[in-house]
């Protein structure tokens, strides 16, 4: 009669079969096809949300600059550099960039108007687009009549 030693039994059950490994890889692949797109959608939504939150904050700094100096700044750089009164309107060293790494566009008032616009062109940095590529704009239009 042949007896088995513990080491012989352990060697036969030591690893996974190819079939077991293939099943695990298949399950991981199926899960990743469901989970990864959802995560990427959330990342896209977060970037769009950040841009939508940044624009009113920049607009508030523009309004504070107007109240302090009696005019709107010529560029967003004027908000991070101290004005003639020593006041800085954005507490940063540089003008904030949009979530896609581009600078926000500022169209200052012209022709005696108080209307300005701040915008980002989205991920593709081209006018128009849909989804994450769409433009996000904040416009301030003021009625000058009293």
* Residue 133 within a domain: yes
Please tell me the distance from the alpha carbon of residue 107 to that of residue 124, in angstroms, as a whole number: 20
Task: State the CATH number of the domain containing residue 110.
Answer: 3.30.700.10
For 78-91, how does the pLDDT look when each residue is reduced to its tens digit (9 = 90+)?
Answer: 999 888 888 889 88
- At residue 62, the pLDDT reads 92
* Confidence class for position 24, pLDDT limits 50, 70, 90: very high
- At residue 94, the pLDDT reads 85
* Residue 132 within a domain: yes
* Residue 19 within a domain: no
9 has pLDDT over 90:
no
* Residue 26 within a domain: no
39 has pLDDT over 80:
no
User: In this prediction, what percent of the chain has a pLDDT beyond 70?
Assistant: 87
- Our count of domains for the chain comes to 1
Q: What's the chain's average pLDDT?
A: 83
Q: Which domain holds residue 57?
A: 47-140
């Amino acid at each position: 009669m042949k007896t088995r030693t513990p080491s012989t039994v352990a060697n036969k059950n030591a690893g996974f079969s190819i079939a077991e490994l293939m099943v695990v890889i298949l399950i991981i692949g199926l899960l990743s096809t469901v989970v990864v797109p959802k995560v990427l959608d959330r990342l896209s939504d977060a970037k769009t949300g950040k841009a939508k939150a940044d624009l009113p904050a920049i607009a508030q700094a523009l309004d504070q600059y107007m109240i302090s100096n009696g005019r709107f700044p010529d560029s967003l750089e004027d908000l991070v550099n101290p004005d003639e009164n020593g006041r800085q309107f954005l507490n940063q060293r540089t003008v904030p960039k949009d979530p896609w790494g581009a600078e926000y566009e500022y169209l200052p008032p012209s022709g005696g108007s108080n209307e300005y616009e701040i915008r980002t062109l989205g991920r593709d940095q081209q006018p128009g687009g849909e989804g994450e590529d769409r433009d996000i704009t904040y416009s301030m239009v003021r009625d000058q009549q009293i």
